[in-house]
Structure 1
């Protein structure tokens, strides 16, 4: 739609991954919107300079009533450079927050990124987080974060100024029916949702599953298939993931492995070091450009594993659950908010023990029936809330 006629202005300074997924959903389903994006490269520079970029390249639109952007954008700078946008309803969406984003040493944390997010909240009209964990960790960290200022510190109630604007609106997943890609044992073990919906497919959909003997007939000969569908970066803790896989191999356990996810400029060395050690177990190694190919691998897998030290929502894990995988995730971060305790592990030793058990008896993962209503994350459920948020 031409900017002159659009009522909602959508801005994404890091147009990739989940940021891209959300903006594409909003663009496709809002009646009157105009979207402007910057490619997802060099995140730190996008956070520093995207406000100037947008101020020079977004044309004026007299019909604009709402501005929606992710927290990568310095909203303060944008509205200062473009006074015509200052009067809009300004909605700031947090995919992540820089106050608790993991760094190897706290002195490595660049103060400016978190500070910019705090300032953006102060000028926004609505501040929206993709999980309660994201919101609570951000608000509870503001006071200690601002204490890093050596003198002339701001008043102590900055978090209280922001809190009334805040709400949680889960990231919406656009999940189509994928049962056509399921292996036979997933169909026989009850891992199909209602055929007339696009909700996440889990066994709790009707509370039933086939008998263990019927499942085993199709699945007992196939080794456990583990998928790790995350960015190849240190905050996803690939060191823990790959060291665990090597231990399974050293114990002589039989399993298959798919290591998916995007790579960026600096790939942790552990991937290259462990690849030869795991060669006999690897089915897929590296990012799959085709969405169909990616979903197909998830549908063939049995267990989706997270070893993240940073996760504010977890799109990749939920997509894998939609494809019939059993999730194994840390008992921390956002995961207790989303999954039941049976899917969570507290220590690397517990993770190894669970995977060892699944390798020895793959049907224990394949016959799962999650008692969790993950359909609440679907676009069908959340669409109305987003449309209400972006109304003027």
Structure 2
């Protein structure tokens, strides 16, 4: 990409993974002249529906500052934004899908009839918005092939259900313009022996004979807290000496499984004489990375994960993954680190995950995968080729 290329980046819902993606793009293209606008990661339905209004009428000057390329997240209402700000319609545009609205699991714990109806209405609007946004793009990029396939399949099924006058070949058009470009992992993660410059972590919690298991996901229903509880119960019943580090972002309302899990862990630590694991969302990134450096296992119980960035970062820092044999994980992690997905039986799936872990226990480090092919240095050429192709006359 030519130096001093002027790029406008719009991130409609600035979740942590979206922030990391933006940082990696800045790292990949340090000579570009970036203008980045992001909206806070709250009020999800309003963010998806209202981002075009917010940007067009609150940030018009920033949107019309003579750019050469536009990059937006899939949650951006691009078709409406181009209508409000016609200058944007002339820019070559890359739409990046961190996720898609066709592959989220239902929140059965929270559903009543009224709420379920409201959620279904919001979901339909979000799904259609993502299709419109993708159709506006010159290029569509996904962080995994699982994300790409589930979006195209979901879009096709939705368009087939619409009553009439649906143009033919829309999903084929989207497929032709799409490719997989993972969010790169920072090169600095792969120097696992380097100091992070973080405050010292209590090393008693991170050393000794106990297995250090890291669970670093949002404390929400879609990340599988019931399965997490089931796996911990299974490991305790099998006499595995471990501590669990709950590092994910948490919110005012949490699934009920977490309260049960914390009591279970408290009893386990007391009976085993083990120093408790860390139970905290560590805001300081260097301190967080230091905890990952001292972990043995990074565990995922997610019911959806479109790339698994938190797991891949932990792998780069020395953890061995234990993840479902589904979603995006088969693309990035080897078979010995993936436990079978057993539908409709948390108990059976917890047993399968525990079986997988115990197979790795004799030599945890021997099962640690090499994920350096996902580093900034390794993915730089693919990203540069994609961006440069958009800038050609």
Q: Which residue of 2 aligns with 1:273?
A: 260
Give the distance between the partners of 2:236 and 2:385, measured in 1 at CA: 51
Which portions of structure 1, spanning 4 or more consecutive aligned residues, are displaced by more than 4 angstroms?
105-108
- Find the aligned partners of 1:220 and 1:41 in 2 and give their Cα distance: 37
| Inter-partner Cα distance in structure 2 for 1:180 and 1:318 | 18
Deviation at residue 220 of structure 1 after TM alignment: 11
The more displaced of 55-64 and 117-126 is 55-64
Alignment of 1:210-229 (within 5 A): 222-229=209-216
Match of residue 147 from structure 2: 134
2:179 is aligned with 1:179: no
Residues 226 and 258 in structure 1, CA contact (< 8 A), matched pair in contact too: yes
- Trace 1:309-320 onto structure 2 (pairs within 5 A): 309-320=303-314
Contact 1:143 1:156 in 2 (8 A): no
Which stretch of structure 1 is more off in the superposition, 26-35 or 79-88?
A: 26-35
What are structure 2's unaligned runs of at least 5 residues?
109-115, 197-205, 270-275, 343-348
Q: Which secondary structure does the structure 2 equivalent of 1:287 belong to?
A: coil
Is 1:97 aligned to 2:111, yes or no?
no
Tell me the equivalent position of 1:238: 225
Aligned residues: 346
Give the TM-score normalised by structure 2.
0.82
Aligned residue for 1:23?
Answer: 22
Deviation, 1:25, is 2.7
* Structure 1 residue 256, shift from structure 2 partner: 1.2
Whole-Å Cα distance in 2 between the matches of residues 261 and 52 of structure 1?
A: 32
CA–CA separation in structure 2 for the residues paired with 1:366 and 1:252: 21
Residue matched to 2:242: 255
Shift of 1:385: 3.0
Change (3 A) 1:369 1:289: closer
1: CA distance, partners of 2:160 / 2:252 = 33
Q: Name the SS for the 1:128 alignment partner.
A: strand
Kindly state the Cα deviation for residue 47 of structure 1 after the two structures are TM-superposed.
0.7
SS at 1:147 equivalent? helix
What is the SS of the residue equivalent to 2:12? strand
Q: Do 1:6 and 1:63's aligned partners in 2 also have CA atoms closer than 8 Å?
A: no
Q: Paired residue for 1:69?
A: 72
Q: Is the 8 A contact 1:303 1:328 kept in 2?
A: yes
Partner of 2:175: 163
- What root-mean-square deviation, in Å, do the aligned CA atoms of Structure 1 and Structure 2 show? 2.3
Quick one: which of 85, 89, 100 aligns to 2:88? 85
327, 337, 348: which one aligns with 2:321: 327
After superposition, the C-alpha distances for 1:209-238 in whole angstroms (9 at most, x for unaligned) are xxxxxxxxxx99511111111111111101
Question: Which residue of structure 2 lines up, in the alignment, with residue 389 of structure 1?
Answer: 386
